[in-house]
Amino acid sequence: MDRLKGKKILIAITGGIAAYKAPELIRLFIKSGCDVWAAVSENACRFVQPLTLETLTGRPVLLDDFTLLDGGKIPHIEASAWCDLMVVAPATGNIIGKTAAGIADDLISTLLMAASRKPVLFAPAMNSRMYLNPIVKRNLNTLRESGYYFIGPDEGEMACGEEGIGRLADLSCIVEKVKDIFTEKDLRDITILISAGPTQEPIDPVRFITNRSSGKMGYALAKAAKRRGGRVILVSGPTSLSVPKEGITLIRVKTALEMEREIEEHFPYSDIVIMAAAVADYRTDTPFPQKLKKSDKAFQLELVRNPDILYTLGKEKTRQTLVGFAAETENFEENALQKIRDKNLDLIVVNNVSLPDAGFEVDTNRIMLIDRFGKTRKYPLQSKDDAADAILDKIIKIRKKTKGEKGPS
253 sits near ligand PMT (criterion: CB under 6 A): no
- Is residue 156 classed as helix, strand or coil in its secondary structure? strand
With binding defined as CB under 6 A, does residue 12 bind ligand PMT? no
Residue nearer to ligand PMT on the CB measure, 285 or 296: 285
- Minimum gap (Å) between residue 196 Cβ and ligand PMT: 6
Residue of the chain from 177, 200, 359, 368 that contacts ligand PMT (CB under 6 A): 359
Say which residues have a Cβ less than 8 Å from residue 377's Cβ, sequence separation at least 6: 368, 369, 394
Distances from the Cα of 246 to the Cα of 132, 165, 212, 229, 270, angstroms: 20, 16, 28, 11, 19
Measure the CA angle with vertex 362, ends 396 and 235; round to 5°.
Answer: 55
Q: What letter represents residue 39's amino acid?
A: A
> In the set 353, 388, 392, 398, which binds ligand PMT (CB under 6 A)?
353
34, 45, 160, 173: which one is catalytic? 160
Using the rule CB under 6 A, is 352 a contact of ligand PMT?
Answer: no
Q: Does residue 278 touch ligand PMT according to CB under 6 A?
A: yes
Is residue 97 within 8 Å of 135, Cβ to Cβ?
Answer: yes
Q: State yes or no: residue 310 binds ligand PMT (CB under 6 A).
A: yes
Angle, helices 22-31/50-57, rounded to nearest 10 degrees? 0
Q: What 3-state class would DSSP assign to 65? A: coil
How far apart CA 397 and CA 34 sit, in angstroms, is: 29
* By CB under 6 A, residue 361 contacts ligand PMT: yes
Contact between 370 and ligand PMT per CB under 6 A = no
Is 234 a binding residue for ligand PMT by CB under 6 A? The answer is no
Contact call for residue 324 and ligand PMT (CB under 6 A): yes
**Distance between CA atoms of residues 287 and 192, nearest Å:** 33
From residue 378, alpha-carbon distances to 81, 103, 344 in Å are 40, 54, 21
275 binds ligand PMT (CB under 6 A): yes
Nearer to ligand PMT, 41 or 351 (CB): 351
User: Which residue from 167, 216, 283, 399 is in contact with ligand PMT, where contact means CB under 6 A?
Assistant: 216
Is 80 a residue that touches ligand PMT (CB under 6 A)? no
Single-letter residue type at 271 = D
The residue among 234 and 279 lying less far from ligand PMT, judged by its C-beta, is 279
Q: Which DSSP letter does residue 69 get?
A: B
User: Which one of the spans 29-37, 143-151, 200-208, 212-220 is the region binding ligand PMT (CB under 6 A)?
Assistant: 212-220
Distance in Å, CB of 83 to ligand PMT, minimum: 34
Provide, for the chain, the percentages of residues in helix, strand and coil under a 3-state DSSP scheme, each rounded to the nearest 5.
35, 25, 40
Q: Applying CB under 6 A, does 214 fall inside the site for ligand PMT?
A: yes
Q: Which helix (H) or strand (E) holds 405?
A: helix 384-406
Length of the chain: 409
CB of 19 to ligand PMT, least distance (A): 35
**Is position 256 an interface residue for ligand PMT (rule: CB under 6 A)?**
yes
38 lines the binding site for ligand PMT (CB under 6 A) = no
Sequence-ordered strand ranges (E) for 115-271: 120-124, 149-150, 154-157, 163-167, 191-196, 201-204, 207-209, 231-236, 248-252
Only one of the segments 5-13, 18-26, 306-314, 369-377 lies at the binding site for ligand PMT (rule: CB under 6 A); that segment is 306-314
277 lines the binding site for ligand PMT (CB under 6 A): yes
Does the protein bind ligand PMT through residue 308 (CB under 6 A)? yes
Q: How far is the CB of 98 from ligand PMT (least distance, A)?
A: 44
Active site residue 160: yes
Only segment of 115-123, 137-145, 278-286, 370-378 that touches ligand PMT (CB under 6 A): 278-286
CB 180 within 8 A of CB 32: no
Residue 124 interacting with ligand PMT (CB under 6 A): no
Per rule CB under 6 A, is residue 163 in the interface with ligand PMT?
A: no
Annotate 16-49 with DSSP letters as a single string. SGGGGGHHHHHHHHHHTT-EEEEEE-TTGGGTS-
Among 14, 32, 109, 306, binds ligand PMT (CB under 6 A): 306
Among all residues, which ones are annotated catalytic? 160
Binding interface with ligand PMT (CB under 6 A):
197, 213-217, 256, 275-279, 281, 306, 308-310, 324-327, 339, 351, 353, 359-361
